A = this chain, B = another copy of it.
């Protein structure tokens, strides 16, 4: 496991101001990483008492953490049915990548304006760790660091609100990849991220924007979003139509 001192996915401004003590935070973090790194597959049930005794706390604290994850759309919580790891629909997946293009491309001008050599070095170090993880075949760490790179890049814009949004989108992207993508093709191509750092260092706003747009479309292409959704809401209508066509079954 690599160190994650400089850049932690999901440890943004979102922590402050919402009253979490250290223990809750640790539980949240643990679950967050487990979901984002795909140790817990989408759809996995998350029973409250199991988690409660796992972490040695009462269900009250667990419920708080689950609600937070639910609000970040990493888990689904249905009434009287408990929580499970979210399974983004195809439409949701498209929306997520579309939103990422808008936000990440839109923030590029400010990123370029505020980039300093020191900050770019932090990014380079992150890419270095990403490559190392990729070379050793640790695809979980690789995906995690790839996401962290995107978040840290936008963090350079200085806009914490936007960075929080992107953190959410990037985590959900991991779920999309886990649901619709093959693990191999999922992570960004080797040495992709290097390029954009130099483009930004050169102050080329348009170039960086174009790079980001193309890059995100490439990532989206690695997941298969062709199949249509089951559309559970239409189930009743469909069955009624079928009943119409075959009035008396027996």
Contact = CB atoms under 8 A, between A and B. Distances in A.
Contact of A18 (B77, B95, B102, B159): B77
B19 A78 contact: yes
A38 interface: no
Contact of A67 (B67, B83, B96, B107): B67
Given A103-B102, A103-B106, A106-B106, A95 B19 contact: no
B64 A67 contact: yes
Q: Name which of A21, A79, A86 has the most chain B CB atoms within 10 A of its CB.
A: A79
A73 interface: yes
Interface in A86-119: 86, 91-92, 95-96, 98-99, 101-103, 105-107, 110
Contacts of A78: 17, 19
A169 interface: yes
A43 to B, nearest CB: 13
B95 A161 contact: yes
Nearest to A93: B161
- Each complex incorporates copies of this chain amounting to 2
A78 B17 CA distance: 6
A190 interface: no
A66 to B, nearest CB: 9
A98 B110 contact: yes
A95 B17 contact: no
A165 B102 CA distance: 12
Given A67-B67, A68-B71, A71-B68, A79 B161 contact: no
A161 B77 contact: no
A98 B163 CA distance: 12
A107 B102 contact: yes
A201 interface: no
A37 interface: no
A99 B162 contact: yes
Contacts of A161: 92, 95-96, 99, 169
Interface of A: 14, 17-21, 64, 67-68, 70-71, 73, 76-79, 83, 86, 91-92, 95-96, 98-99, 101-103, 105-107, 110, 158-162, 165, 169
10 contacts: A17-B77, A18-B77, A19-B83, A67-B67, A67-B68, A92-B161, A95-B158, A98-B159, A99-B162, A105-B106
